[in-house]
Amino acid sequence: MSEVLEIGRRARQAAARLGTTSTKVKDEALAAIADALVDRTDQILVANAEDVQRGREEGLSSALLDRLTLTRERVAAIAQALRDLIGLKDPVGQVLDGWTLPNGLRIQKVRVPLGVVGIIYEARPNVTVDAAGLCLKSGNACILRGSRTAISSNIALATIIEDAGTAAGLPPDSVQLIRSTDRESAKELMRARDHVDVLIPRGGADLIRTVVEESMVPVIETGVGNCHVYVDARADLEKALPILINAKTQRPSVCNAAETLLVHRDVAEAFLPGAIGALKEHGVELRGDEGARAYDAGMTSATEDDWYAEYLDLILAVKVVDSLEDAIAHINTYGSNHTDAILTEDYSAARKFQLEVDSACVVVNASTRFADGGEFGFGAEIGISNQKLHARGPMALAEMTSYKYLVQGTGQVRA
Amino acid sequence: MSEVLEIGRRARQAAARLGTTSTKVKDEALAAIADALVDRTDQILVANAEDVQRGREEGLSSALLDRLTLTRERVAAIAQALRDLIGLKDPVGQVLDGWTLPNGLRIQKVRVPLGVVGIIYEARPNVTVDAAGLCLKSGNACILRGSRTAISSNIALATIIEDAGTAAGLPPDSVQLIRSTDRESAKELMRARDHVDVLIPRGGADLIRTVVEESMVPVIETGVGNCHVYVDARADLEKALPILINAKTQRPSVCNAAETLLVHRDVAEAFLPGAIGALKEHGVELRGDEGARAYDAGMTSATEDDWYAEYLDLILAVKVVDSLEDAIAHINTYGSNHTDAILTEDYSAARKFQLEVDSACVVVNASTRFADGGEFGFGAEIGISNQKLHARGPMALAEMTSYKYLVQGTGQVRA
C-alpha cells in the first residue's frame, strides 16, 4: 500500500474516534501541543534552518524565504494561535434543528465533523499547525501535504503535534503529514475519495486551480480575491477616501485588499483628483480606463487583464462608470465573488448593490479588509471560500462540519 | 461557441435576474407551467411515444420502458408536484444569522440561490419537470442534460416550461435543456466551472460515479443506499419484525430500502427463524454468513460483495454479529453512509449507535424508509446526498441555496 493510502486508512480510523472525543480532551490536547511547540522550539528552528538553507541554495525569492523562515517569536505566535482555539465553542454536537413528525418520529439535525480533511499547501510551515489545530478542534482527522520547500520544518512540527496530541489523549493518527512531496503524492491524495471527505488547498492561484481541476475528492476553493470599491454618485466623499486607502494599502498582499476602484461619473471630478493624489502618496501605481486617465494623463492605460487581476500589490485598476448598474455588471463580470464594497448614502443604491453583487461579502460604507474570520468574530479562519457549495466567505470551525439526522422512533413503519 | 457554453452563458445571465425575482412571480410561474403541462398533454404524449417507440426498437428492458413512458395520469401527477411547490416557503432571503461587531459593523448572513444548477440524468422524463421546479422555486437557473432515450419527451417538456415560465414573468433561459445527448455535451457541462455552480447527477450508480470522477464543477453525490437494520441484543422483537419487513419489502427498488440485516448473537435464535420465514413469505431471497445460515441450511452463502451490495431488489444479506461494536464497524466499513437503523430498548446502545454510525440518517426503532424529503416534511426532494460537503441526507429547497454576508458600515476602516 502506498504511503498516501496507508495514511488515508489510518486517518479514517482516527476520524471515527475523534468525532466522539470530548471537547475537554480536544482542548487539553491543543494546550499540550502549544506547550510542546514552545518547549521544542530549538528542534523546530534547526529543521527550519535546513529548509531555509536549501531554499537559499535553490534561489528562492526573498518573499518566499521570508514566508518559510521561522523564528522563536513566530513559533510562539503559532503556539498562541492554538491556545486561542481553546476558548472557542466546539461546533460538534450542536443541534441545528429538530422537529416531530405527525407519526411521532422525532428528528434532530446535529453537527458532526466532516471526517477526514486533506490540506494541500505551499511553503508556509505555520499552515501545518494552524490547519491541524482547526481540524482537531472541529473533530476532524487531518492529512497534511505541504511542499518540498518546507519538508524538514513540517516533519518537525507534525512530529511534535502527534507526540503531544496522542499523549494528551487524542486518537493516534489524528494529524498526519505526507512525507513524499512529489507530484504523485498530491495526485493520489486528490483521488482518495474513500479516505478523504474534503480537500482544502491553501496557497497561490496555480495550486488552487490544479486541485480544483484534478481532484475527485470534494474541494473547497479558497483564496482568490479581486475585490472592488465602488464610489457611488451619492457617496460621502469624506468617508470614501479613507475607506479606499485602507482597502488598497493597509495590507495589499492579502485576498480582501481592493484591486479595482469604480467611480460613478457624477462624482469623478469631485473625487478622483484627490484620490489619485492620496493613492500615489501611498505608493500605489494606477492603471485606468479613459474616464480615469482624464484626471491623470500619466496614468497607465488599463487592459482587459487589469480588470481580472488580483495584484496582491500596490497597484490599483481604476474605472469611471456611468451607473450603479454598470458598476454591478463590471463586478459580476470581472470579480472573483469574494468581497466588494459600495460607498454611498443612497438607501436604494446600497440595497440594490447588496442584492445583486454576487459575492461572498457585500459591504456598504466600510473597507473590504473586514472580510475575515477574525474580524467577523469567528476567532479563527481556515480560509475564505470562493465557491457557493458548502461554505462561502470566511470559514471557521462551523464550516469544518457536516451534520447527520438522528431519527428516534417507537416502532414506526412506512405505509 | 458550443451549444453547452452558449447555454451556460445564458444561464448565468438568467441566474442573476432569477436570484432577485420575487416569490410571487416564481409561484405564479410554477402554476402557469403546471397548467401548460396539463393543457399541452397531447403534445407531450406524442413526443413521448417517439421515445418509447425508439426504445422498443432498440430493445430497452421493460423496466426502463416503464420509467420512460408518460401517460395522461403521469403528466397530471408531474404537474401536481409543481403545484405542491407553490405552498412551500421560499428559502431565498432568509436571514440565517446576524450580529454587530464592536466597531459597529452590522453583519447579516442571508440565503441566496446557488446560481446555476446543472442536472445530469437518465431516462425518466419526470426529472425534467421536477428538477426545473425545485431550481425555480429556490431561485436557481437550471441546465438539464437528459439522456438520448428521452430526448423527444424532454424537448417537449422543456419547451413548455420555457414558454409558460417566460410568459409568467421568469427571466428567459431560466430553464434550458441541452439537446445534444452525446458524451461530449456531458463532458463539456462537467468542465463548465465558469457557468455552473453545482452539478447534481440523478440516476444509476454508474452515471453518478462518472460525474463524481470527471467533473471539475462541484458535485453533490446522491442516490446510493446500502442501508442496514441492526437487531440489537435488547431489541423488542415484536417491534423488530414489522420494521425489518417494511424496510426491506415496502419498496425494494429505492435507496432507503434495507439491504443488510445484522442480528446480535444473543437474539439470533429468538429472532432469525421467524424473520427468515416472514422474509421468504414476502419473496425475499436471503444471503447469509455462517451464523445466519445456522438457521436456514438452504440459505445462499454471502460473499464479500454481498456486504457492499445495493440490491434494489427483493434480496437481503444477513449476518450474525457478536456485539454492538461489531455491528457499527460492519456498517461503517460496508455501508454507503446513507441510512441505518438500530432496533433496541437499550438506551446506551441506541445512543452509541447514533453517535458512531457515520451515516446521514441514523434511526432508532423505525424503518429506514423514512429517510426521505417528503417523509421528513420538506415537501420536496431533489435527492439524498451521500456526501458530507454542503448537504447530507434528504435535500430540498434550503439545500439548493448558498448564502452571502451583507456588511453594513458607517465608514469603518481596519486598523
Complex confidence, ipTM: 0.94
Contact A405 B105 (CB under 8 A): no
Q: Give the ranges where A168-303 is alpha helix by DSSP (H).
A: 183-191, 205-214, 237-249, 265-281, 290-293
pLDDT tens string, chain A, 415 residues long: the values are 799 999 999 999 999 999 999 999 999 999 999 999 999 999 999 999 999 999 999 999 998 899 999 999 999 999 999 999 999 999 999 999 999 999 999 999 999 999 999 999 987 899 999 999 999 999 999 999 999 999 999 999 999 999 999 999 999 999 999 999 999 999 999 999 989 999 999 988 888 889 988 999 999 998 889 999 999 999 999 999 999 999 999 999 999 999 999 999 999 999 999 999 999 999 999 999 999 999 999 999 999 999 999 999 999 999 999 999 999 999 999 999 999 999 999 999 999 999 999 999 999 999 999 999 999 999 888 999 999 999 999 999 999 999 999 999 999 999 9
**Residue among A212, A308, A331, A405 with most chain B CBs within 10 A, to mutate:** A405
- Which residues 217-246 in chain B show a CB within 8 A of chain A? 218-220, 236, 239, 242-243, 245-246
The correct CATH number of B3-222+391-408 out of 1.10.490.130, 3.30.465.10, 3.40.605.10, 3.40.640.10 is: 3.40.605.10
Evaluate whether A3-221+391-408 and A227-370 have a shared fold. Answer: no
B206-251 confidence digits (pLDDT tens): 888 899 889 999 999 987 899 999 999 999 999 999 999 999 999 9
**Residue among B195, B389, B395 with most chain A CBs within 10 A, to mutate:** B389
Q: Domain limits of chain B?
A: 3-222+391-408, 227-370
Q: Does A333 touch chain B (CB under 8 A)?
A: no
**Residue among A106, A328, A390, A410 with most chain B CBs within 10 A, to mutate:** A390
Distances from the Cα of B292 to the Cα of A70, B262, B330, B399, angstroms: 61, 9, 15, 41
Contact A411 B198 (CB under 8 A): no
The residue among B193, B12, B187 whose CA lies nearest residue A212 is B193
Query: What is the bridge-based pairing of β-strands A106-113 and A95-100?
Result: antiparallel
Question: What is d(CA A161, CA B130) in angstroms, rounded to the nearest whole number?
Answer: 50
Q: What is the CA radius of gyration of chain B?
A: 24
Distances from the Cα of A356 to the Cα of A74, A219, B154, B199, angstroms: 42, 26, 32, 23
* Ramachandran angles phi, psi of A400, nearest 5°: -90, 15
With a pLDDT cut of 90, the percent of chain B lying above it is 93
B110-162 confidence digits (pLDDT tens): 999 999 999 999 878 999 999 999 999 999 999 999 999 999 999 999 999 99
Contact B414 A371 (CB under 8 A): no
Query: What is the bridge-based pairing of β-strands A285-288 and A300-301?
Result: parallel
Q: Does B101 touch chain A (CB under 8 A)?
A: yes
- Cell readout for B131 is 428538477
pLDDT at B23: 97
Band of the pLDDT at B273, cuts 50, 70, 90? very high
Nearest residue on chain B to A354, alpha-carbon basis:
B406
The residue among A201, A223, A204, A225 whose CA lies nearest residue A212 is A201
- Cell readout for A28 is 487539553
This prediction's pTM: 0.94
* Ramachandran angles phi, psi of A210, nearest 5°: -60, -45
The correct CATH number of A3-221+391-408 out of 3.20.20.70, 3.20.20.330, 3.40.605.10, 3.30.70.920 is: 3.40.605.10
Cβ atoms of residues A104 and A409 within 8 Å? yes
Q: Does B403 touch chain A (CB under 8 A)?
A: yes
**Identity at A15, one-letter amino acid code:** A
pLDDT at A1: 78
Question: What is d(CA A189, CA A211) in angstroms, rounded to the nearest whole number?
Answer: 10
How many Cβ pairs within 8 Å bridge chains A and B?
Answer: 208
- B227-370, what's its fold? Aldehyde Dehydrogenase; Chain A, domain 2 (3.40.309)
Which residues on neighbouring strands pair with residue A405, listed in sequence order? A109, B361
pLDDT at B1 over 80: no
Which residues on neighbouring strands pair with residue A112, listed in sequence order? A402
Question: What is d(CA B115, CA B135) in angstroms, rounded to the nearest whole number?
Answer: 9
| Collapsed DSSP state (helix, strand, coil) of residue B287 | strand
What are the b/e assignments for B95-127, b being 16+ CB within 10 Å?
A: eeeeeebeeebebbbbbbbbbbbbbbbbbbbbb
Q: Does B363 touch chain A (CB under 8 A)?
A: yes
* Ramachandran angles phi, psi of B288, nearest 5°: -120, 165
Residue identified by cell 507526540 is A163
